[in-house]
Amino acid sequence: METIKKCEQLVKSIYDQMDASHDFQHIERVYMNAEAILQSEPTANEKIVKLAVLLHDVSDPKYAADKSDEQRIIKELALTAEEIVHIQEVIAAVSFNGGNELEATTIEAKIVRDADRLDAIGAVGIARTFAYGGAKGRKLYDDAEEARPDMSVEEYRTKSTASVTHFYEKLLLLKDLMVTEKGKQMAKARHAFMLLFLEQLKQERDGII
């Protein structure tokens, strides 16, 4: 689709300025995850899903002060008013926000949310967590920190916790928050790998192995 190709060209330069946790390779992986889930969801609007994937982090609050880039790109894509609203609703439903997420009410939102969260767990999720932590100058781990079970969006966004703490505040929760059957299936092995990693890390830290 020409619209999707144009969108890809427009967003790439923005993602190329982000650190390795949210660069264009992240978008490519989320795109592949979405395509895998789409195969099991024949009623979904593929165009909406793919455009939402490409756009979902353009105005991420971690990197952007406002939604000007997202809005500018959408205007250049010659979309209908209905398509614009749908895409924006999908994007809004993707973020975890410390557990204060919006409900994913459409199949398109469910697909994009699961596709993005799959890239936050497993081996890639581990790599991304430490890439982001390194970019922000965060500790690898901090035994004095306790995972916060209840956070406001502001608390989630502003407190610089150690990278390992992030596993307990978000990443280990995601398997049970998947909403598509394919997403749930794909999350199982990735979740198990994170548990193995954390156990290995603990043993190495403790000088056991």
Indicate the domain borders of the chain.
2-205
Angle between helix axes 24-38 and 107-118 (nearest 10 degrees) is 130
Average pLDDT over residues 1-15: 95
- Tokens for 51, please give them: 């455009």
**pLDDT surpasses 90 at 20:** yes
Six token digits for residue 160:
């610089």
The letter for the amino acid at 125 is G
pTM for the model stands at 0.94
Q: Cα angle vertex 160, ends 157, 162, to 5°?
A: 125
- CA nearest 89: which of 72, 70, 65? 70
| Averaged pLDDT for residues 39-65 | 95
- Are the C-beta atoms of residues 201 and 164 closer than 8 Å to each other? yes
Q: What is the pLDDT of the chain when averaged over all its residues?
A: 94
pLDDT > 90? residue 99: no
CATH number assigned to the domain with residue range 2-205, chosen from the 4 options 3.30.460.80, 3.40.50.150, 1.10.3210.50, 1.10.3430.10:
1.10.3210.50
182 touches 37 (CB < 8 A) = yes
Report the pLDDT value the prediction gives residue 98, as an integer from 0 to 100: 66
Which pLDDT belongs to residue 57?
96
**What secondary structure letter does DSSP report for 64?**
-
CB distance 120 to 171 below 8 Å: yes
Summarised one tens digit per residue, pLDDT across range 24-47 is 999 999 999 999 999 999 999 999
pLDDT at 153: 75
Helices then strands, counting H and E runs in the chain, come out as: 10, 0
pLDDT at 135: 96
